[in-house]
Amino acid sequence: MSKSVKSITSPKKFIVGQHLLKELCTYTKTYGDHAYVICDEFILERASQEASQSFEEAGHKSEFAKFNLEITQEEIDRHREAVRSSGANVIVGIGGGKTLDTAKAAAYYEHLPVVIFPTIASTDAPCTALSVIYNTDGSFDRYLFLPSNPDVVLADTAILAAAPTRFFVAGIGDALATYFEARACYRKNGDNLVNLKPSLSGLGLAKMCYDTILEYGLQAKIAVDNGVSTPAVENTIEATIYLSGVGAEAGGLAAAHAIHNGMTAVPSLHHAQHGEKVVFGLLTQLVLEDAPKEEIETVIHFIKEVGLPLTLKDLGLDEFREEEWRKVAELACAEGDTMGNMPHPVTPADVYQAIVAANALAEYYQD
């Protein structure tokens, strides 16, 4: 394929609204009459009660299985076997990013359609044709690129707004980086997440994502703090789940996510959310690309406003050890990671220095 081919790819359907769980069968029935539903533990009982009724009414079969916390190859294989022995013909994932990535990966290996139902708006996982696989120790293993995006993504704003604010805000953090990474990748004419060139629509959706969260993010966060969904929450969910996911896939990732991937090797950061670490990756990227001062200040002001962690200490780092962060920088520049989408060549030494500078800058602006 020509290396100048550009793309925009997206789920076939993106549905936003309230009370979608009770109508789950409405969205699976065109794809199959027997659903295998992978659920996070916290929603397993509720999902099997509310959704199974819609399957029964339609005369369809459904089974609900628990996701075992970490997306590893073993976990994916365990669900594949269960899918095969049950005879299911459509896979549903209900839960956080790792559960959804497991559903997408299992559906890909089993050649089945997949319906995605996020319960937290914390990552780009719902819309993308990508599963991020981890090792059993929690470190990054590999990206599994899928040939197509999920068939349906259901964003139930009532469920998403009822989740802890921290997850909602982490999703805003992940979405905050989307535009800057797409911009870097566009300048480089790098590779987007489907290994084609970034399209104008990808960059445009990423920009719309950034503008939307700057406009509505704070109001949305305050509504979610109070467990309610408002138009600001709906707009923010559209940005964090759809615009960010599709924008990143078509527009490409760059330093922010590469640094996030490196940071998975730091044990004291394992409790930080994906989007929280991406925010620090973004600050580092802005330092690396020598972004304008006003832009950095806008981003830092917004991070503080919505209550995202700003410094490495805020992220849970116990102590800054040079050796550990040299390794993060090394991993961030690993062959095949998205650091290669930065407009200028970036070395591990550059990344290490930018990490130190970004953290110092974060500390400076903290008060």
Cβ-based neighbours of 165, under 8 Å, separated by 6 or more: 221, 224, 225, 307
Identify whether 111 is a catalytic site residue: no
Q: Which is nearer to Zn ion, 32 or 247 (CB)?
A: 247
Query: Which window, 95-103, 167-175, 304-312, 344-352, contacts Zn ion (CB under 5 A)?
Result: 167-175
276 binds Zn ion, rule: CB under 5 A: no
CA 25 to chain centre: 25
Candidate residues 151, 156, 174, 181; the one interacting with Zn ion per rule CB under 5 A: 174
Least distance CB 258 / Zn ion (angstroms): 11
Residues numbered 26-55 forming contacts with Zn ion, rule: CB under 5 A:
none
Q: How far is the CB of 165 from Zn ion (least distance, A)?
A: 19
Partner residues linked to 319 by β-bridges: none
Given CA atoms 79, 84, 86, 89 in this order, what sign does their dihedral have?
positive
- # of chain residues touching Zn ion (CB under 5 A): 2
Q: Which of 101, 124, 174, 337 is catalytic?
A: 174
Helix (H) or strand (E) holding 144: strand 140-145
Residue with smaller CB distance to Zn ion, 174 or 238: 174
Is 260 annotated in the active site? yes
Output 174 or 314, the one with its CB closest to Zn ion: 174
Convert residues 101-130 into a mask of x (bound to Zn ion by CB under 5 A) and - (unbound).
Answer: -----------------------x------
Q: Which of 274, 293, 261 is nearest to 361 (CA)?
A: 293
CA within 13 Å, CB half, 5: 7
Active site residue 174: yes
Q: Which of 101, 260, 314, 337 is catalytic?
A: 260
Nearest to 243 by CA among 202, 274, 215, 198: 202
Which residue, chain included where needed, has tokens 């989007």? 275
Task: Give the separation between CA 365 and CA 367, rounded to whole angstroms.
Answer: 6
What residues act catalytically?
A: 174, 257, 260, 274
- Which spans of this chain sit near Zn ion (rule: CB under 5 A)? 124, 174
